[in-house]
């Protein structure tokens, strides 16, 4: 009977080791292929996501640029100056409450604005601070009479002429209203209850039944204007 030699056993052991080594090497290669595939897929997804984010971001930037151009065109087309595209956007940015169909009653006051530009009285647009969906800011208008409604959720909140013009998205400062700036011939003056004040627009409060006048123009144009000292509010206003 033939007997196994030590050489045969060693040869079989060596063959098993080679097979095991080849299998281990194949498993390593398979893991590397999976890692590479995963990395490539992650890069592609990341690139797609980054591209989508960039596209969305660019779209938003383009919308903002177009809105700014449209608003500048609106300013330059006036006066009279119409409503901005979004009548409540800036109110929110200013921290004013904006509620759907609801007006605050903690502070309920009405003032009036008389605006004169180049010798002509200008209307204040209706629904300033009110959007088409019925969202209402604490500071708003309902009609073109120039009555400014403060209907706030806070007794302590202060509302100013500057805020009104910001919501209107019409530039206003001590030297500018709309696209018009003061110069050697043209002035911009502010009045409270018929008396000229030197206050900055941000300091002129919209207190109850206060009559506020804003007058821009040449001396000749302004001489024709009688700035009102009071406004005849409707019953209950």
Number of folded domains that form the chain = 2
Does 109 sit behind a cis peptide bond, omega within 30 degrees of 0 on the bond before it? no
Backbone angles phi, psi at 9, to 5 degrees: -60, -40
Domain that holds residue 213: 89-223
Same domain assignment for residues 134 and 47? no
Same domain assignment for residues 68 and 128? no
Same domain assignment for residues 58 and 118? no
Domain boundary among 45, 77, 109: 77
Same domain assignment for residues 34 and 122? no
Which pTM was predicted? 0.74
Q: What is the pLDDT along the chain (237 residues), one digit of tens a residue?
A: 555 555 555 565 566 667 666 677 677 777 777 777 766 666 566 666 666 666 667 777 887 888 889 989 999 999 999 999 999 999 999 999 999 988 898 999 999 999 999 999 999 999 999 999 999 999 999 999 999 999 999 999 999 999 999 999 999 999 999 999 999 999 999 999 999 999 999 999 999 999 999 999 999 999 999 999 999 999 989
Same domain assignment for residues 49 and 102? no
Which residues lie closer than 8 Å to 214 by C-beta, 6 or more apart? 113, 114, 115, 116, 161, 172, 177, 188, 189, 190, 191
């Amino acid at each position: 009977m033939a007997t196994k030699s030590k050489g045969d056993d060693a040869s079989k052991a060596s063959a098993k080791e080679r097979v095991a080594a080849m299998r281990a090497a194949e498993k390593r290669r398979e893991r590397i292929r999976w890692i590479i595939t995963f990395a490539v897929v992650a890069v592609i997804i990341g690139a797609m996501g980054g591209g989508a984010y960039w596209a969305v971001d660019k779209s938003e930037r383009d919308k903002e640029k177009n809105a700014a151009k449209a608003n500048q065109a609106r300013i330059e087309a006036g006066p009279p100056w119409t409503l901005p595209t979004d009548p409540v956007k800036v109110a929110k940015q200013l921290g004013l409450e904006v509620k759907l169909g609801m007006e605050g009653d903690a502070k309920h006051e009405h003032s009036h604005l008389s605006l004169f530009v180049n010798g002509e009285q200008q209307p204040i647009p209706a629904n300033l601070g009110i959007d088409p969906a019925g969202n209402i800011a604490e500071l708003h208008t309902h009609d073109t009479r120039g009555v400014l409604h403060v209907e706030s959720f806070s007794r302590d909140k202060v509302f100013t002429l500057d805020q009104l013009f910001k919501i209107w998205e019409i530039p206003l400062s001590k030297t500018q209203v709309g696209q018009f700036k003061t110069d050697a011939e043209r002035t911009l003056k502010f009045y409270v209850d018929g008396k000229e004040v030197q206050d900055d627009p941000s300091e002129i409060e919209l207190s109850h039944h206060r009559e506020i006048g804003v007058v821009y123009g040449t001396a000749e144009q302004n001489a024709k204007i009688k700035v009102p000292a009071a406004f005849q509010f409707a019953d209950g206003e």
